[in-house]
Structure 1
């Protein structure tokens, strides 16, 4: 494997022989390949991609909460 970097957004890990392939993309570990599902950490605990994935998950949860709190069918208050 050459010295390419993992395709996970924010990941700084270089690929090695244990790289995980998804389609035409390569990832450093299964957690990155799965998009950090259930907040699984990158193989490198110092890698910023895990924090970025957690932030994206929090943002997504907040967006969902706002959608549930303010349904489009409610009238605008005067």
Structure 2
């Protein structure tokens, strides 16, 4: 099983229609507000963690979004 960062990269790839690496910047690889909202909704469904739009955009990479999910799971 891959890392959470890799799972998030794959999720982004589904919405952006391209390969995504764990350190790819969301906006640089073609992300926009609509795809961001859809990804945030999927994260909530799949991982039970609600990310704010602000936190998601500030995180910028799948690796950092994975860190936010881990923090959300532990209640940190």
TM-score by length of 1: 0.28
Greater C-alpha radius of gyration: 1
Higher helix fraction (1 or 2): 2
Higher strand fraction (1 or 2): 1
Of structures 1 and 2, the one scoring higher in RCO (CA 8 A, sep 6+) is: 2
